[in-house]
Amino acid sequence: MKPDDLSSLLPHIAAQFRSSLSNLYLAALQLAPPGAREKDPELDARAALLDQSYYQLVRLANNLSAAKYFREEALPLQNEDIVKLVVGLFEKVEYLAALLGLHMVLSCPMDRHICAICPDAMEQLLYHLLSNAFKFTPAGGTITVSLRRTQNRILLSVEDTGTGIPEEQLAALFDFEAPQDPLPPPHGMGLGLPLCRHIAMGHGGTLMVESHPGQGSRFTLSIPDRQMDRRPSVSDVPFDYSGGFNKTLMGLADTMPPAAFLVRSQD
């Protein structure tokens, strides 16, 4: 399927998804309200499975909406503190990594740095890279997030000590081809890494990968270290939807155990 076809079709499918999902969630909320779940651990455990499925489906809808980034055009960039964005997201993700027995490391020598980014797209890219790292790194492994400046570039990398990627798969890693047969977990639809590449391109940058089977992988985003001299258009709207729910949990929903969706875990 051509990128232009994806960018036009998938957001419409996502909109229909969300309408039905909202009704399903409201019905589930009436059957198992938070107050009742807090008093009944057994009910909470059953309802957590519903929450898990709901979050996973909303994450899928967000990914479908994000197909607009497959268009060959620049993103609506604005001057933001990229250190604040990355560190803030890291801190939210760290406790979820602990549920999987993973150790998180942050390497960032900067206290603050303003540069031109699309915050929503940058978060989407980070969630995808972290989700992949979580999926393919066994308990006891380490995920390292690194942010640094070099010459006129900003480098953001996510490195894991997981299973790695076979060499023969690296060449087509960022190309989207609809799978002929459903892929078993932890594999998804194959949209994530192609989407990340287009987000990198929309920043005027690149996304690179280094990987060795059995030793892990490192994905590195390289974007220009620049600032914008104009304000973003008021028509620029975020593509994703969190509906007041835990956005971090939603971004990593495909990797989390049911325990992450208990009422006490979402506080």
| 22, HSE (Cβ side, Cα atoms, 13 Å) | 9
| pLDDT reported for residue 223 | 97
204 conformational bin, left if phi > 0, alpha if psi -120 to 50, beta if neither = left
Q: Please state the rounded mean pLDDT for residues 113-136.
A: 94
Of 46, 40, 58, 73, residue with least CA distance to 245 = 58
- 136 and 211 in contact (C-beta within 8 Å)? no
Domains observed in the chain: 3-69+248-266 (no CATH), 75-224 (3.30.565.10)
Residue 234 pLDDT > 60, yes or no? no
In this prediction the pTM is: 0.82
In whole angstroms, what is the distance from residue 50 CA to residue 32 CA?
Answer: 10
Q: Please state the rounded mean pLDDT for residues 78-83.
A: 96
Alpha helix segments (H runs only) across 67-143: 82-99, 119-135
- The band of 109, judged by pLDDT with boundaries at 50, 70 and 90, is very high
Of 125, 98, 135, 97, residue with least CA distance to 216 = 135
What SS3 class is residue 104? Answer: strand
> Which tokens go with 159?
């490195």
Burial of 12 (0-12, 13-18, 19+ CB in 10 A): exposed
* Between 65 and 235, the higher pLDDT residue: 65
Residue 1 pLDDT > 50, yes or no? no
Q: Please state the rounded mean pLDDT for residues 135-163.
A: 96
- The band of 181, judged by pLDDT with boundaries at 50, 70 and 90, is very low
Q: How far apart, in Å, are the Cα atoms of 26 and each of 20, 33, 61, 118, 261?
A: 10, 10, 17, 32, 16
- The band of 119, judged by pLDDT with boundaries at 50, 70 and 90, is very high
In whole angstroms, what is the distance from residue 181 CA to residue 100 CA?
Answer: 28
- The band of 4, judged by pLDDT with boundaries at 50, 70 and 90, is low
pLDDT in tens, 191-220: 788 889 989 999 999 999 999 899 999 999
- 65 and 11 in contact (C-beta within 8 Å)? yes
Burial of 106 (0-12, 13-18, 19+ CB in 10 A): middle
Contacts of 34 (CB under 8 A, 6+ apart): 263
Q: Are strands 103-107 and 142-150 parallel, antiparallel or unpaired?
A: parallel
Contacts of 56 (CB under 8 A, 6+ apart): 253, 254
Q: Are strands 216-224 and 206-212 parallel, antiparallel or unpaired?
A: antiparallel
